[in-house]
Amino acid sequence: MLMARRVQGCLYTETAMARLWRRRCCARLPLAATLALALACGGCSLPSNFDSLFGSAGTSETTGSITPPPGSKEAAELPPERDLIYTRAAVSEVLTRGGKNASLPWENPQSGARGTVTPIASAYTQDGAVCHDFLASYVSGSSEAWMQGEACRQAHDKWEVRSLKPWKRS
């Protein structure tokens, strides 16, 4: 049953169910609006430095486990050549062995530098040679870096590293 009513100069029609629903919802609207406004504004009033609330302002913790991400400016340079010789030998060895998900550690006993070499993706043919991409890690003292490279199979099934550069995230 529709009823015509005049509300603030406007004529409209609604059912009895619509009137009940409107009364329920409209009664809660001011409460909901107030709550939403309080939540929206309340978050902005909190200080960005919570340490000052707990009395530890001025203290700073530094951990040695955080290193610059691979591909950052700090990791942009390649390791010394004396360590890369061992990295290249590990690349040749792991690619010669083959196998899925192969990874091989390497270490330079003179410098103490170490890392791992892991082939990535599948082998492909380039300029008539079978090639493979790889990632290599490098750890020396507290510094750490990642390198990406390409090695191709040469005569007598020897793998030769054609390119080696700092790893860049894509």
pLDDT tens digits for range 150-163: 999 988 889 999 99
pLDDT at residue 101 in the model: 75
Q: Is position 65 within any domain?
A: no
**Contact (CB, 8 A) for 152 and 159:** yes
Q: What is the pLDDT of residues 84-136, one digit of tens each?
A: 999 999 999 999 988 777 899 999 999 999 999 999 988 999 988 999 999 99
Q: Is position 101 within any domain?
A: yes
CA distance 11 to 5: 6
Please write down the long-range contacts of 1-5, taking CB distance under 8 Å and 24 or more positions apart: none
Q: Is position 56 within any domain?
A: no
Domain hosting 22: range is 3-41
In terms of Cβ atoms closer than 10 Å to its own Cβ (0-12, 13-18, 19+), residue 120 is: exposed
Q: Is position 54 within any domain?
A: no
Q: How many domains does the chain have?
A: 2
Both 78 and 30 in a single domain? no
Q: Is position 34 within any domain?
A: yes
In terms of Cβ atoms closer than 10 Å to its own Cβ (0-12, 13-18, 19+), residue 153 is: middle
Q: What is the pLDDT of residues 5-54, one digit of tens each?
A: 555 554 555 666 666 556 555 556 566 666 565 555 555 454 444 444 44
Both 30 and 81 in a single domain? no
pLDDT at residue 92 in the model: 94
pLDDT at residue 20 in the model: 59
**Contact (CB, 8 A) for 117 and 106:** yes
pLDDT at 64 over 50: no
